[in-house]
């Protein structure tokens, strides 16, 4: 009986291992997720298409990033958002360089830092690289931009690790209050790019209509057929904001599951890397 028990145990362990191998290997192909939003703050019968890229971690898809580049081109974006952790301290910069070379000039590209760009200890080099490709860096600031005859307000904040790695006096909450409080009086559609979704309570204090985040990697392991993940950095087990669309009254918060397949060194299980497309349309 003991031998039979060992055989059954070995069988179940092997089956479980094979399932993990299969599901993780099948989670290296990019999925696309499209969110359709409406607002009365756009011109009548107009729309804006946004591509959200988060947590690339220098991953490379296809030959010289062509798979990812083709998906972005086919999305026909009016605006491209890089929501942090595009580069990290492990994988280098080549994948990001290939991506930016392929999409430069396609649409305006805006970027905010993530924690891994700071962990790289070369934040100034990273910023110069991005600027060389025409990327606009939103460092605790905002711009009013015109897209398809619509003026929208686009804001971005630095990752809180700026305090540890660049400016010991940095206080994200205080900075947001000093920069973004005046936005309450501006009657435009307002978007905030903020890498970390778990700080949503800080963001909700301001008059943004849409917040775009990453950081969670979808919870790394997803519960099948749900958006619920097992673990996310700075949220721990069963994170509340693992990925998807979250509503806070009139505020919409979209969290990308990210594009990393090379870092961290954990498999994505039931959780394919994700390119997010956001279509904002005028209300009739």
**Given pLDDT bands bounded at 50, 70 and 90, which one contains residue 99?**
very high
The pLDDT value given to residue 50: 98
Domain boundaries, the chain: 30-282
How many CB atoms neighbour CB 2 within 10 A?
6
Angle at 73 between CA 33 and CA 188, to 5 degrees: 65
* Contacts for 18-23: CB closer than 8 Å, 24+ residues apart: 20/267, 20/269, 23/267, 23/269, 23/270
The per-residue pLDDT for range 107-133, each reduced to its tens digit, is 999 999 999 999 988 899 999 999 999
* pLDDT of 92 over the 90 cut: no
Backbone angles phi, psi at 175, to 5 degrees: -65, -45
Measured between alpha carbons, how far is 168 from 138 in angstroms, rounded to an integer? 20
The pLDDT value given to residue 165: 93
What superfamily in CATH does domain 30-282 come from?
Metallo-dependent phosphatases (3.60.21.10)
The pLDDT value given to residue 14: 41
The per-residue pLDDT for range 171-181, each reduced to its tens digit, is 999 999 999 99
The per-residue pLDDT for range 16-54, each reduced to its tens digit, is 443 444 444 457 899 999 999 999 999 999 999 999 999
Measured between alpha carbons, how far is 86 from 57 in angstroms, rounded to an integer? 5
The per-residue pLDDT for range 210-221, each reduced to its tens digit, is 999 999 999 999
Measured between alpha carbons, how far is 126 from 4 in angstroms, rounded to an integer? 58
The per-residue pLDDT for range 182-233, each reduced to its tens digit, is 999 999 999 999 999 999 999 999 999 999 999 999 999 998 877 789 999 9
Residue 130 · residue 104 · CB < 8 Å: no
Mean pLDDT computed over 92-104:
94
């Amino acid at each position: 009986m003991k031998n039979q028990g060992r055989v059954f145990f070995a069988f179940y362990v092997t089956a479980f291992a094979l399932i993990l191998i299969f599901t993780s290997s099948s989670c290296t192909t990019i999925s696309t997720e499209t969110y359709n939003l409406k607002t009365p703050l756009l011109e009548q019968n107009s729309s804006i298409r946004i591509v959200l890229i988060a947590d690339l971690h220098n991953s490379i898809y296809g030959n010289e990033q062509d798979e990812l580049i083709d998906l972005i081109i086919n999305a026909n974006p009016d605006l491209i958002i890089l929501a942090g952790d595009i580069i990290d301290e492990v994988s280098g910069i080549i994948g990001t360089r290939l991506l930016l070379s392929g999409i430069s000039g396609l649409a305006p590209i805006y970027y905010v830092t993530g924690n891994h760009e700071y962990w790289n200890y070369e934040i100034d080099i990273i910023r110069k690289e991005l600027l060389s490709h025409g990327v606009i860096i939103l460092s605790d600031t905002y711009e009013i931009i015109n897209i398809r005859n619509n003026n929208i307000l686009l804001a971005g904040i630095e990752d809180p690790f700026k305090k540890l790695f660049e400016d010991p006096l940095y206080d994200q909450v205080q900075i947001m209050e000093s920069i973004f409080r005046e936005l309450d009086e501006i009657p435009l559609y307002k978007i905030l790019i903020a890498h970390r979704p778990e700080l949503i309570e800080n963001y909700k204090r301001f008059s943004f209509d849409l917040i775009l985040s990453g950081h969670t990697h979808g919870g790394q392991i997803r519960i099948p057929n749900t958006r619920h993940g097992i673990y996310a950095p700075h949220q721990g087990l069963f994170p509340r904001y693992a990925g998807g669309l979250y509503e806070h009254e009139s505020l919409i918060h979209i969290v990308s599951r990210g594009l990393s397949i090379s870092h961290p060194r954990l498999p994505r299980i039931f959780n394919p890397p994700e390119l997010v497309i956001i279509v904002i349309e005028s209300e009739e």
